[in-house]
Chains A and B, each alone.
Chain A
Amino acid sequence: METGSLEVKIGLAEMLKGGVIMDVTTAEQAKIAEDAGAVAVMALERIPADIRQDGGVARMSSPDMIRAIQAAVEVPVMAKCRIGHFVEAQILASLEVDFIDESEVLTPADEENHIYKHDFKVPFVCGARDLGEALRRIGEGAALIRTKGEAGSGNIVEAVRHMRALRSAIRRLTVLEPSQLMAEAKRMGAPFALVEQVAKIGKLPVPNFSAGGIATPADAALMMQLGAETVFVGSGIFKSEDPAARARAVVEATTYYSDPDKLVQASAGLKSAMVGLDISEIPPEERLQERGW
């Protein structure tokens, strides 16, 4: 029996497809998410909208809080560590979280290096804004990529930008000649073997989810139609006025993402969504998506 292989890590990401992964900060919220049909929960101390508002250094959640959430639900429990903070990752691995998110939502611990994720038996998910960043993370051992939006903004525009950028870059690779791939790998700063692989298969070698700025059922369906295989919803649910109903609606919208009649049903009767931020209102140095290299 072999544990911790890339096949086994990617296997869990495969099982999460077509679902919604919800940010939760308490065991009660985790239960609400599970009851609504979440495929997994992301345990964190503060949701991105609050991290953005409060400022200060954002770190890994406390083990007590993660344990309480693990005890409350049966679905996979994910947790975030800071970029490059491999000791936080070791702690999360020892807690047996099901997925570690090396996340730009927290304050980075290393401004040059990400974690060498092949060292861990627990799978990692990492954010990416373009294909080069995605392939660097996969090269380090990520089993799942989430194209970044702007977390905690309630604004879908950045998630769309990055999903389109990734998909366009993949399509472009598939029409290049083999002799052009090395120059492309150099331009993107991506491992050559992975560039070759993507050019051949026309998709990432790991699943591709979307995160950041999803606030409504329509936002979730938009990202699915653009090519996301699952969506992460952070602040969008528990910053809205009716988290349980909105969570349920986003789950429905993710299953029926290409059926406008079902999307009408999912969108009807909801109270107000979270208040969104225009990206121009967020100064560049406060944009979480810029973190990660």
Chain B
Amino acid sequence: MVAEVGVLALQGDFARHQEVLGALGCQVQPIRYPDQLANLSALVIPGGESATISKQLDSSGLREAVVEFARERPVMGTCAGLILMCRDPGDKRVQSLGLLDVTVTRNSWGRQVHSFSTALELHINGRADAFPAVFIRAPRVQEVGPGVEVLARIDGEPVLVRQGRHVGVTFHPELTGDHRIHELFLGAIT
């Protein structure tokens, strides 16, 4: 069965996630309306500006619909998407959805001139593999709740977390052509 996966398309690099998910054989839908969620198996919240997407979640009526969706189906957020999924983004300009028991600080590495790429170690299924990661004005994870697994770190700080079926990433696996994190996420579809 081909999984139908949505990418929240209110703002950000949603088209890049659509390309990756399409390459992995999913049927992909850009999501701008609450009634589009009904038939999806999973949802991705892309990178972008978290305060902008937060406002568009309210004006679109998608906020409650996404929270409801996440009760039974997997959601992955990258960068701004993780900020929106967290318990507390530490900034009242962003109203987060509380899907992951972590707190974050926005734009925590500094302005764009401090954005960077690096190879990090991905810890999945008892293996450690190199993964290319691009951090763009990235958030930092501060507190991690007891039910949250950390699957990759930089200098000890969590950059890839999983809680049950949900995944949060501070960097952009949609930009570097390596699809393993998307595959990991899709593995949570039941």
Binding site for B on A (CB under 8 A): 1-5, 7-8, 11-12, 14-19, 34, 37-40, 70, 74-76, 93, 96-99, 121-123, 251-252, 255-256, 259
Contacts and interface: CB of A to CB of B under 8 A. Distances in A.
10 contacts: A1-B116, A8-B136, A18-B11, A18-B14, A37-B56, A39-B49, A96-B112, A122-B113, A251-B56, A255-B11
B111 A15 contact: no
B13 A15 contact: yes
Contact of B137 (A15, A18, A70): A15
Given A12-B115, A39-B49, 16 more contacts: A1-B118, A5-B117, A7-B117, A8-B116, A11-B134, A11-B175, A17-B11, A17-B13, A18-B10, A39-B11, A39-B48, A74-B91, A75-B51, A99-B112, A251-B52, A255-B10
B47 interface: yes
Given A17-B15, A74-B91, A74-B106, A96 B117 contact: no
A74 B104 CA distance: 15
B59 interface: yes
Interface of B: 9-16, 32, 47-49, 51-52, 55-56, 59-60, 79-80, 91, 93, 106-107, 110-118, 134, 136-137, 172, 175-176
A12 B137 contact: yes
Nearest to A95: B111
A11 B13 CA distance: 9
A93 B52 contact: no
Contacts of B136: 8, 11-12, 14-15
Contact of A1 (B48, B93, B117): B117
Given A16-B49, A18-B9, A3 B14 contact: no
Contacts of B32: 255-256, 259
B111 A96 contact: yes
Residue from A4, A8, A93, A98 having most chain B Cβ neighbours under 10 A: A8
A3 B113 contact: yes
Contacts of B79: 15
B47 A252 contact: no
A132 B106 CA distance: 38
The 7 closest A-B pairs by CB, nearest first: A98-B112, A11-B136, A14-B13, A96-B111, A18-B11, A39-B49, A1-B116
A171 B9 CA distance: 26
A274 B32 CA distance: 30
A4 B14 CA distance: 23
B49 A15 contact: yes
A15 B12 contact: yes
A142 to B, nearest CB: 15
Contacts of B172: 11, 14
A5 B112 CA distance: 11
A121 B114 CA distance: 9
A12 B118 CA distance: 16
Contacts of B55: 37, 251
A8 B137 contact: no
A14 B114 contact: no
A266 to B, nearest CB: 10
A96 B116 CA distance: 15
Contacts of B114: 3
B112 A12 contact: yes
Contacts of B15: 17
Nearest to A258: B32
B2 to A, nearest CB: 25
A91 B9 CA distance: 36
